[in-house]
Structure 1
Amino acid sequence: MASLPAESRWSIKSLSDDDAGSALAFLRRDPLINVYLISRLLEERFASATQMVEVRYHRDVILVASLATNIVLAADPAAAPETTDAAASVIAERILTRMLSVRAIISPAHLVDSLWKRLHSRLDAPTVVRMNQPIYAIRGRLDFPDLKEVRYSTVRDLDVLVPACGAMHSEEVGIDPLERDASGYRERIRELVDKKRSLIRTHGGRIVAKCEYSAVTPEAVQLMGVWTDPQYRRRGFGRDLLREVCGHLARKGKSVTLFVNDFNRPAIALYESLGFKRIGVNRALIW
């Protein structure tokens, strides 16, 4: 790895409770792009539990990152590219010296590129690469209905919800989570249900469309796992799901964000027809 420029000017530290306020202020410069990291900081009782770090140049925060097995980065949008690039070097050094595997890197594309060029010779190649995942947002759609046909999932739905979530993951990522860790995956879905972060549209006693909240902040909700059963596509169930979910969240004063694979043209066409606007692009490396 190349040496860092003017190393003594750089610092990296794990976030403590005393740092949480300044980290949130930094992330809220771009509250829709950084919705996941903001959510992590707000939900954990102690900042140390988030496994988040901040990188500073002199006294200025340049980058905040979650360094759990899934790595997520946020940079100062006003920072010069060479400054952000140097901050990625600091993060890469921390990743390579810790005793924790990497399962995914999902962040704005330029940050993933900057980090990966410093890691690729030291880590195995990712199993799945998603080069371009447009990020979309929609705000204030009070003209959309509140929840009517769509409802929050309950534990009674788990036996049909878990296979639906697994089917979506297999279709989108190419990895079947039920083959990798069926009990662990079911428990993660149960946790979403318990937190009221799973919504479903049923028809004829089966789940025909669903989505989950991957992050919730006072400003926004990030959706994940938006999916329609292939047997029920092009019948309006996915559109109705999103209209009701976005209308429901608009009434709570929240914007809605999501990101999608760029090759999923039908999904992109649906989002744009509903009024979602592109606000950025992610890149994903998955092991």
Structure 2
Amino acid sequence: MATTRVLTPADLPAALEVLDRNPIENAFVAARVAVAGLDAWRLGGEMWGFFEHGRLEALCYSGANLVPLSTSPAAVQAFADRARKQGRRCSSIVGPAEAIAELWSLLEPHWGSAREVRARQPLMATWEPSREIAPDPRVRRVRRDEMDLLLPACVAMFTEEVGVSPLAGDGGLLYRARVAELVTSGRAFARFEGDKVVFKAEIGAATERACQIQGVWVAPEFRGRGHSESGMATVVDAALREVAPVVSLYVNDYNAVARAAYRRVGFTEIGAFMSVLF
């Protein structure tokens, strides 16, 4: 018999076991759970659990993003039913491509069209420092007093990547807090030329098993000079040395330039994500 319900702190050991099955794919949610547990207020959303014969088999994080994890077709159906009854509260659906494609096929008739669907975003990973690309010695951790220099680059990257400004709605309070958190925790990296950010990237999610790089961006006037490759080599080296034994990221399949750069740094494709943006 299968059931679905909102998990509570008492379910944490079972949830961690599910998250640990795919530490690379699940890094985003696993990192949040490692800090906040399963308390909805601290987690920033509910964690739904799919049970078969009393055993927790799959998860779905329901917050600003809807993220199904370690799902079977039956779990996807169950999560879709719950999401449909609840109504759309998320700004995106993100996760392993096969599960997201099935989930979206069940939700779209009820939720309506998305602003954009990115059907295949290769998931890439590396377990060792770059053998081909030398790290950029000028890429370093961003200091707290450089927040105001970094923030415009973060906003530019987000707007370019997602298609909307992160400053909309609350005037950017939540987004600025997130950038500040990354800077304070030492997970924001950049190369500066005076007061100008040339390259930037962040280790956005981190657990003991895996971490995920996000927000890779090069200022338009500096593109085509190899900054993304040498900058990423620096960030990968620091992440492997200080954070986790594997570094991952996901990228749009149509971004051939970025995919080629990541391959030169040493990343290989290990799967694919899919994103539905509202």
Same fold at TM > 0.5? yes
Distance 1:142 1:278, change over 3 A: closer
TM-superposed deviation, 1:59: 2.9
Residue 190 of structure 1: aligned partner: 180
Query: Shift of the alpha carbon at 1:236?
Result: 2.2
The 8 Å contact of residues 7 and 38 in structure 2, kept in 1 or not, is answered as: no
TM-score, reference length from structure 1: 0.87
CA–CA distance in structure 1, aligned partners of residues 37 and 23 of structure 2: 21
- 2:101 is the alignment partner of 1:113: yes
Bigger shift: residues 249-258 or 135-144: 135-144
Contact 1:145 1:248 in 2 (8 A): no
Query: Partner of 2:15 in structure 1?
Result: 23
Of 120, 131, 134, the match for 2:122: 134
Residue of structure 1 aligned with 2:197, choices 204, 207, 222? 207
**CA distance in 2 between partners of 1:145 and 1:18 (Å):** 47
SS of the residue corresponding to residue 109 of structure 2 reads: coil
1:96 is the counterpart of 2:84: yes
Unaligned 5+ segments in structure 1 are: 1-8, 77-83
Contact 1:20 1:47 in 2 (8 A): no
Residue in 2 that maps onto 1:68: 63
Alignment: residue pair count: 272
Greater Cα offset, 113-122 or 257-266: 113-122
CA 1:66–1:122: 2 relative to 1, 3 Å: same
Aligned-partner Cα distance in 1 for 2:256–2:170: 30
Residue 206 of structure 2, aligned match among 180, 195, 216: 216
Tell me the CA shift for residue 179 of structure 1.
Answer: 4.3
% identical aligned pairs: 30
Does 1:42 pair with 2:30? no
Q: Secondary structure at the residue paired with 1:121?
A: helix
Cα shift at 1:243: 0.7
Residue matched to 1:158: 147
What is the CA distance between 1:186 and its match in structure 2?
2.3
Could you tell me which of 51, 56, 60 is aligned with 1:56? 51
CA contact (8 A) 2:136 2:230 kept: no
User: Which SS does the other structure have where 2:112 is aligned?
Assistant: coil
Task: Give ranges in structure 2 of 5+ residues lacking alignment.
Answer: none
Which amino acid in 2 is paired with 1:173?
V
Distance apart, 1:226 and its partner CA? 0.5
CA distance in 2, matches of 1:220, 1:240: 21
* Alignment correspondent of 2:270: 279
Report if the CA contact (8 A) 1:151-1:200 is conserved: yes
In structure 1, the partner of 2:220 is 230
SS for the counterpart of 1:161 is helix
Maintained 8 Å contact 1:36/1:216 = yes
Please give the alpha-carbon distance, in whole angstroms, between the structure 1 residues aligned to 2:277 and 2:88: 15
Q: CA RMSD in A?
A: 2.1
Contact 2:92–2:275, Cα closer than 8 Å, also in 1: yes
Amino acid corresponding to residue 102 of structure 1 in structure 2? C
| Residue 155 (structure 1) shift | 3.1
Q: Secondary structure at the match of 2:111?
A: coil
Residue matched to 2:157: 168
- Separation (CA, whole Å) in 2 of partners of 1:70 and 1:225: 17
